């Protein structure tokens, strides 16, 4: 069978691949999109969206507890976990249908099956024992990443975030190994849902890479929620109990911790195995079985007509970044507008309990970058909890370049932090100064107003 000809062949129908395909088709390109599973990728099917739905669902426990301080008497409320999971599944199925409709309406041709490169222009798609070849003037790899378990005895007894999103019953005890985004977010979900959570991390605090002051504050907030945080620990094995009723996580010290579920939130690896990348001349960074694709700032690989975006390049692994990278590739190839994505000042959020969000530099990054900085910070008890009685504090922090006055970073722990940070990201992108923050009239009473009321600085000279 002769190969089908396209202007662009995309491998991977996640957020980045779909965005690139639709934008290229809108610019007049003939586009093929290859996907071995369901359309939507990690974010829609087993990441951001289902996780956020479980965050919403579990958050009602806090609302119910806090209501008593405002005079509400709510008796008998309980979480029916299977009902929550079923509702989440229905929404994910709906979104999958929306993605399929968008692709059809855009004129993108979808090929279901496993795709691999045969050469710099040819992709083979295999499904149900049958293969088809597609020829593309350009190829785009957008295959994302997958959860990784540590190589320890019994690791197969643990689960990852993929399975955690679809547990059919709520475990009474959960051990979470890992202290990054995913580990912290699931700690919040399961603890609010009613499980006893133990979080085991190798570092001295959760959320490595975030501002150190926020990391320490977040550990305090986890403890207030009753989450047992074990820092500086190595994991040696997972074992099933003698009666097969539960599991034991074995630490490097030999200590054994009992649990019903062990969730590994120990990082993700690029999905690059079995794609024929090296054979086509595409360079990889790291181990060959899960190496990241090496790309230029324009997302071009070592082969000039092959591009790669998103988590499989292991640059800044966030869904909106993959979408922006995909659209930039489409604009470069078919829109007559050479484009690249600026990976600086990208806002990010941890939807934990409480949420955390930031944009720009941490205090440590600013110092290491040679800036002379002023640091502004405040902690306070949110107004809501003066009546609810909940023991929690909001932390707000600004990092400012002293000579220019430019705000280099914004950081927050507390309710609505992600929503607030999205707006602040616009200001940071525009180069706003501390004087401009100060000139902004506060919107009272809000937590966000503290960002325009911070003074005096806590000076740090570098």
**Catalytic positions:** 444
Q: Which two tokens stand for residue 218?
A: 């977040």
Helix (H) and strand (E) counts for the chain? 12, 24
Alpha-carbon torsion, ordered 52, 57, 63, 65, to 10 deg: -130
Length of the chain: 462
**Which residue reads 């007894």 in tokens?**
157
Kind plus residue range of the DSSP H or E element containing 11: strand 4-11
Residue 304 corresponds to which tokens in the numbers above? 């000039």
412 three-state secondary structure = strand
Give the helix/strand (H/E) hosting 229: strand 228-230
Buried b (16+ CB within 10 A) or exposed e, 419-437: ebbeebbebbeeebebeeb
CB 23 within 8 A of CB 326: yes
Closest by CA to 413, choosing from 211, 267, 224, 228, is 211
């Amino acid at each position: 069978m002769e190969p089908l000809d396209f202007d662009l062949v995309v491998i991977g129908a996640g957020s980045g691949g779909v965005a690139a395909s639709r934008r290229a088709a809108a610019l007049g390109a003939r586009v093929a999109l290859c996907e071995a599973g369901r359309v939507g990728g990690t974010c829609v099917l087993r990441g951001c969206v289902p996780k956020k739905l479980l965050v919403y669902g579990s958050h009602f426990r806090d609302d119910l507890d806090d209501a008593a301080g405002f005079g509400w008497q709510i008796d008998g409320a309980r979480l029916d976990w299977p009902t929550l999971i079923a509702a989440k599944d229905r929404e994910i199925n709906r979104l999958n249908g929306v993605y399929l409709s968008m692709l059809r309406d855009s004129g993108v041709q979808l090929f279901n099956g496993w795709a691999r490169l045969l050469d710099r222009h040819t992709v083979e798609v295999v499904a149900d024992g049958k293969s088809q070849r597609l020829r593309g003037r350009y190829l785009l790899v957008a295959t994302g990443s997958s959860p990784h378990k540590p190589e320890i005895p019994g690791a197969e007894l643990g689960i990852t975030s993929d399975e955690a999103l679809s547990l059919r019953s709520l475990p009474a005890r959960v051990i979470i190994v890992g202290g990054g985004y995913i580990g912290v977010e699931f700690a919040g979900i399961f603890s609010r849902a009613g499980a006893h959570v133990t979080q085991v991390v190798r570092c001295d605090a959760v959320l490595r890479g975030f501002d150190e002051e926020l990391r320490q504050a977040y550990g305090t907030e986890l403890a207030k929620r009753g989450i047992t945080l074990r820092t500086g620990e190595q994991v040696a094995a997972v074992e099933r109990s003698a009666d097969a009723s539960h599991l034991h996580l074995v630490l490097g010290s030999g200590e054994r911790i009992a649990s019903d579920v062990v969730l590994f939130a120990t990082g993700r690896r690029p999905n690059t195995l079995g794609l024929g990348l090296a054979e086509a001349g595409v360079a990889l960074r790291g181990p060959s079985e899960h190496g990241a694709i090496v790309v230029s700032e324009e997302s071009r690989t070592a082969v000039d007509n092959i591009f790669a975006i998103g988590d499989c390049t292991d640059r800044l692994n966030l869904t909106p970044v993959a979408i922006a990278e995909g659209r930039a590739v489409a604009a470069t190839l078919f829109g007559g507008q050479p484009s690249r994505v600026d990976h600086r000042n990208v806002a990010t959020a941890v939807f934990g309990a409480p949420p955390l969000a930031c944009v720009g530099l941490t205090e440590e990054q600013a110092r290491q970058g040679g800036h002379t900085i002023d640091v502004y910070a405040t902690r306070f008890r949110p107004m809501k909890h003066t009546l609810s009685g909940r023991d929690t504090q909001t932390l707000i922090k600004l990092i400012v370049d002293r000579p220019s006055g430019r705000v280099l970073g914004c950081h927050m722990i507390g309710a609505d932090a992600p929503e607030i940070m999205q707006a602040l990201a616009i200001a940071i992108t525009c180069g706003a100064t501390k004087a401009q923050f100060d000139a902004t009239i506060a919107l009272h009473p809000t937590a966000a107003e503290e960002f325009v009321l911070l003074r005096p600085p806590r000076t740090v000279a570098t």
